[in-house]
């Protein structure tokens, strides 16, 4: 199965990436671990659907229905919906109910389904209405900047805003970074060194948990199961 994924950056400080996919045929793919939560819209059998999904702390196998077209908005770490805490989304997804016509219900209001082209405007509307905010403590923790808050308080704020601990985020991002290295042709031993793993078994255990494949399977472009959207991020 071949999944065609197109992605772009956003001018919004709340958004990490915007993507869309058009799978050529039904099948299965590996949904890899991710530190971020996202809003996903898809059409299946002519019906629009929308859900809030992630973060995902392990790799899982996911089906791709026939003729399914989807797009998603991946939010930056620390971006939250105050009425829907991110911890509720960890390894989970919440489907938003449909309203009349091409609209859905979100926080007691009907919203038009966004699309790949107007996703930035949709995010701006959410921010305007107070449905999307950002916790600056998360940015400070990621940059390693001194905090007026105690370490324990900063860690608790990070967990509340992202749904995962800073250590879990680091492990997920390192595995994704290592996967990109392997896919670009870097050898397994060099990937161990560049991604900061202790040895090859350590790399293998991490990739099997967070990516769902061994280093050799990732390098095998012919037989490996397709992976979900994998993009280059700052290695933390």
- DSSP of the chain: ----EEEE--S-TTEEEEEEE--SS-EEEEE--BS--EEEEEEETTEEEEEEE--BSS-EEEEE-TT-EEEEEEEPTTEEBTTB-GGGGTT-EEEPPB-SSSEEEETTEEEEPP-TTTHHHHHHHHHHTTS-EE-HHHHHHHHT---SS-HHHHHHHHHHHHSS-HHHHHHHHHHHHHHHHHHTT--HHHHHHHHT-SSHHHHHHHHHHHTSS-HHHHH-TTTSPPBS--------
Helix 166-183 / helix 151-162 crossing angle, nearest 10 deg: 60
Please say whether the beta carbons of 57 and 77 come within 8 A. no
Q: What pLDDT tens digit does each residue of the chain (236 aa) get?
A: 556 788 899 999 999 999 998 766 667 788 899 999 999 998 877 788 999 998 999 999 877 766 677 899 999 999 999 998 888 999 999 999 998 888 999 998 999 999 999 999 999 999 999 999 999 999 989 988 766 788 889 999 999 999 999 999 999 999 999 999 999 999 999 999 999 999 999 999 999 999 999 999 999 876 667 787 777 766 44
Phi, psi of 221 (to 5 degrees): -75, -15
Structure tokens of 172? Answer: 């997920």
Please say whether the beta carbons of 104 and 97 come within 8 A. yes
Query: Residue 1: its pLDDT value, please?
Result: 54
Query: Residue 23: its pLDDT value, please?
Result: 63
């Amino acid at each position: 199965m071949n999944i065609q994924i197109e992605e772009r950056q956003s001018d919004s400080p709340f958004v990490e990436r915007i993507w869309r996919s058009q799978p050529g045929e039904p099948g299965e793919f590996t949904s890899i671990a991710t530190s971020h939560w996202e809003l996903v819209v898809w059409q299946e059998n002519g019906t629009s659907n929308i859900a809030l999904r992630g973060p995902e702390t392990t790799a899982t196998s996911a089906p791709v229905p026939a003729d399914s077209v989807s797009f998603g908005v991946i939010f930056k770490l620390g971006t939250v919906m105050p009425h829907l805490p991110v911890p509720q989304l960890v390894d989970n997804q919440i489907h938003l109910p449909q309203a009349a016509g091409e609209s859905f219900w979100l926080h007691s209001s009907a919203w038009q389904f966004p699309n790949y082209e107007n996703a930035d405007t949709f995010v701006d509307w959410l921010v305007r209405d107070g449905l999307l905010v950002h916790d600056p403590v998360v940015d400070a923790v990621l940059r390693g900047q001194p905090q007026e808050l105690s370490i324990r308080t900063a860690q608790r704020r990070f967990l509340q805003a992202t749904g995962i601990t800073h250590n879990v985020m680091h492990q997920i991002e390192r595995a994704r970074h290592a996967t990109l290295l392997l896919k670009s042709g870097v050898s397994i031993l060099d990937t161990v060194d560049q991604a900061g793993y202790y040895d090859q078994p350590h790399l293998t255990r991490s990739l099997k948990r967070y990516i769902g494949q061994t280093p050799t399977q990732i390098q095998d472009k012919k037989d490996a199961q397709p992976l979900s959207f994998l993009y280059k991020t700052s290695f933390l």
